[in-house]
Amino acid sequence: MEAMLRCTPCLALRFGSKLRLAVVVLQIVLLFTWLEATNAQSQEIILGGQGPERSSENIVSHSCIHDQILKQRRRPGRKVYTVTPQVYEASGISKPLHQKGRALLGISKQSVLQKDAKLPIRIYLNYDAVGHSPDRDCRNVGDIVKLGEPPIGYLSGSPSCNPRGDPPISGDCWYNCTLDDIAGKDKRQRLRKALGQTADWFRRALAVEPVRGNLRLSGYSACGQDGGVQLPREYVEEGVAEADLVLLVTTRPTTGNTLAWAVACERDQWGRAIAGHVNVAPRHLTAEAETLLSATLIHEVMHVLGFDPHAFAHFRDERKRRRSQVTEQVMDEKLGRMVTRVVLPRVVMHSRYHYAAFSENFTGLELEDGGGRGTSGSHWEKRLLMNEIMTGSVDTRSVVSKMTLALLEDSGWYNANYSMADNLDWGRNQGTEFVTSPCNVWKGAYHCNTTQLSGCTYNREAEGYCPIVSYSGDLPQWARYFPQANKGGQSSLADYCTYFVAYSDGSCTDTNSARPPDRMLGEVRGSNSRCMASSLVRSGFVRGSMTQGNGCYQHRCVNNSLEVAVDGMWKVCPEAGGQIQFPGFNGELICPAYHELCGTGIVPATGQCPNSCNLNGDCVEGRCHCFLGFHGSDCSKRSCPSYCSGRGNCLSNGICECRNGYTGIDCSTAVCDEQCSLHGGVCDDGVCEFRCSDYAGYSCQNSTMLHSSLNVCKDVLENVKSGAGQHCAPSEPSILQQLEDVVVMPNYHRLFPGGARKLFSIFGTSYCDMTAKQLACWISIQKCDKDGDNRLRVCYSACQSYNSACGASLDCSDQTLFSSKDEVEGQCTGSSEMKTSWASSVLSWFSSNDSSRGMSVKNRQL
């Protein structure tokens, strides 16, 4: 005890020393903490003084500027695109497919009727231009580079790009480069990976008629926009092997939240894009933007492939004719404004099935009319397709719908693989009124009108709020859904519609969104949970004023019933939806209708119709009146378009299986012999037509207007007898000159091979040479009829004259290329008098042994 008493003062002294030491240490720690915080603040101020760091922007969506880019290309002196004819494979056979009816072919008469064979599209990516434009690529911090075509004057660097200015300047300006705008090694690797994945996606999604041999490009002008990209010389001289589309890639900066842009710059004779320019902004080549960039690149390449109003003019039907109508523009009285709708057959069909819009009032799918010059007219209407990838803004939730794939297939250039389409929930099974009426009359979660209440999003996957914005100016008359003219929804692209938008932590399907009150309210979040209106609260508790009037509850579809669980207890919901209660909870849960969460189920209808018409018709006095596309007593059977026109079998899925000799979604189109398309003809319901206007960039022109652009064929066309009137030729002089190099001369060399030229030079005769040259020109640049539309086949006499002069055996009876015997000058292209050279008998023997090398010119290209 004494020892203990003696030690007590010692312990006190030791404790006091440790306490003082602890205080000192604490003061030191606090001092360092304060210094660190001060240093951090000073660093923040210094960083702020460097100007806005664009990489710190939280870019959650991509704004497309496609139309803005095209508008820049349409400036005086610039070509939106050039036309370069290609040679295509024959369908299902090893013989070549030729363009424009100017091929010298001898196809076997035993050829069978086959549909066009299409193979997965081959997209060739060229990265040679990345970082190689000093006036447009950012190489160093502080570089001033061009965006678009800024004015060049005494004020260098003015105007500067400022998308947030008043007014905003985002094009035709000078851009100040930051570190994030430089495409370093890491960013280039991300670029290659992203574009490689994009090319692979399209390879699986689209099939195209493959180019035979190398893809030839013109190189007439720089490809693309913002300075473009000069085509490599070998692409022009030799072409690109194993390619159907060449994309030239650059990494030039953009402003705002535009991640990338892309345009087509060359098309083939049918109007299909064969070359394009894709630009990706380096500051968006980050790990954080990877998913958004992937969706953006699919969106932009869609524009190159054909989702472009300028490409619509070249769309083809099943007969390879230009489509007479792709869109219609009408004054819509319900919507109160002019609208443009796509009326292509497959687009309309897939839209009907998506929206369940089987009324005859639905005629087409709307294109965007908002968003300004960068978006309007070249995207789907966001009000109707919301998160579809071809609306004017793209985010990580964007999906590819069947309607977009259908548009590309309706171009006539591609076959679409519809299994590559995603599920688009927005508008599904909402009926014709959803598509044709203004959004302020929409039902359920598709419409809200107050910020005071929360609700469920349209797909019931999240709890949401109703964003209503007060704008500085009045909205358009058609978008005034509130008494106040300046109030409306947050998106101009979505026509200022007001609908529930998910809270950032409101997901019902994500377990990470769970909140403390969930258990008290009986809520569970997970993959099978959905949002439902509810006032449930566990007995003994009071639902707080801040608690939303909806919650996340588990659901399942069992035995044609919707079941909902609260606190582990499952209950069956009324088929049409309604209130249910649970023991241990006060309040009630309001079930949605069965069909909302369990697929296209039965929707009750008055009159007790069979199976309630399966949602495919109206029930009137106990009898089903089926919507367009369905039939049967309960509207359960699919109807084929026009009952397959009596030329095919209607399958159970509503698809026509056409008999041999017919094609089209309704089997209404008769097909022609393969020789028609092999020679560039267009099959018009079984009749092979040769229209000049069917080819991109071609027109009927006065012969005298062509002389200045011709060399080889100039004297042939100057001949009054053969060259008077109009000829079908490329409208662009440079392309016409190229046509002589790549079409006329190869034809001439096949008609008059080198061996024959040597032989005739020995005998001193040039008549075979002259007839071969004439025939090559007439085949390549055919005359037009008096109406200035149809191309006239080469005269039978010209073929016979060539055979006689050269001892050749060209098949003059091939009426896809040559006229009949009784057609005279004015009904065909070129004519010749029979004149046999004394050396032709020698050449006849020579040609019979040389036919495989082209003297009889069978199975050869232009």
Q: Which residues are annotated as a binding site?
A: 299, 303, 379
In order of 228, 249, 394, 694, 699, the CA distances from 196 in angstroms are 21, 12, 20, 34, 38
Which of helix, strand or coil describes residue 737?
A: helix
Pairing type for strands 462-465 and 501-507 reads antiparallel
The label of the residue with tokens 């060449």 reads 246
Residue where the block lists tokens 């399209």? 202
Catalytic residue among 266, 300, 381, 523: 300
Distance CA 220, CA 229 (A): 12
| Strands 462-465 and 455-456, bridge-based pairing | antiparallel
Q: Is the dihedral of CA 12, 15, 19, 25 positive or negative?
A: positive
What distances in angstroms separate CA 831 from CA 218, 795, 796, 809, 820, one per listed residue? Answer: 32, 6, 8, 18, 12
Alpha helices (H) in 283-411, listed in sequence order? 290-305, 309-312, 345-355, 382-385, 402-410
State the distance between the two ends of the chain, measured CA to CA, in whole angstroms.
Answer: 120
Cβ(378)–Cβ(308) below 8 Å: yes
The one-letter code for the residue type at 25 is V
Pairwise CA distance, residues 297 & 247, whole Å: 12
- The number of CA neighbours under 13 Å toward the Cβ of 35 is 6
Query: What does the DSSP assignment read for 32-61?
Result: HHHHHHHHHHHHHHHHHHT---GGGS---E
| CA atoms of 317 and 663, how far apart (whole Å) | 11
Maximum distance among all alpha carbons in the chain? 148
Strand order in the sheet with 561-566: 569-572, 561-566, 550-558, 529-534, 589-591, 578-580
Annotated binding site for Zn(2+): 299, 303, 379
**Which helix H or strand E contains 770, and what residues bound it?**
helix 767-780
Q: Which of 116, 104, 109 is nearest to 859 (CA)?
A: 104
For 483, phi then psi, to 5°, come to -60, -35
Decide if 370 contacts 376 (C-beta within 8 A): yes
Residue 805 in contact with residue 840, Cβ under 8 Å?
A: yes
Separation of alpha carbons 570 and 582, rounded Å = 9
SS (H, E, C) 511-527: HHHCCCCHHHHCCCCCC
Q: Report the sign of the C-alpha dihedral through residues 420, 426, 431, 436, in that order.
A: negative
Residue 52 burial by Cβ neighbours in a 10 Å radius (0-12, 13-18, 19+): exposed
Specify whether the CB–CB gap between 111 and 92 falls below 8 A.
no
CA 699 to mean position of chain CA atoms? 28
For 201, the token pair is: 């996606």
Exposed/middle/buried for 241, CB within 10 Å: 0-12, 13-18, 19+? exposed
Cis peptide before 476 (omega within 30 of 0): no
Is 300 catalytic? The answer is yes
Helix (H) or strand (E) holding 821: none
Buried b vs exposed e over 602-634: b needs ≥16 C-beta within 10 Å?
A: bbebeeebeebbbbbbbbeeeebebbebbbbeb
> What amino acid positions are annotated as catalytic residues?
300
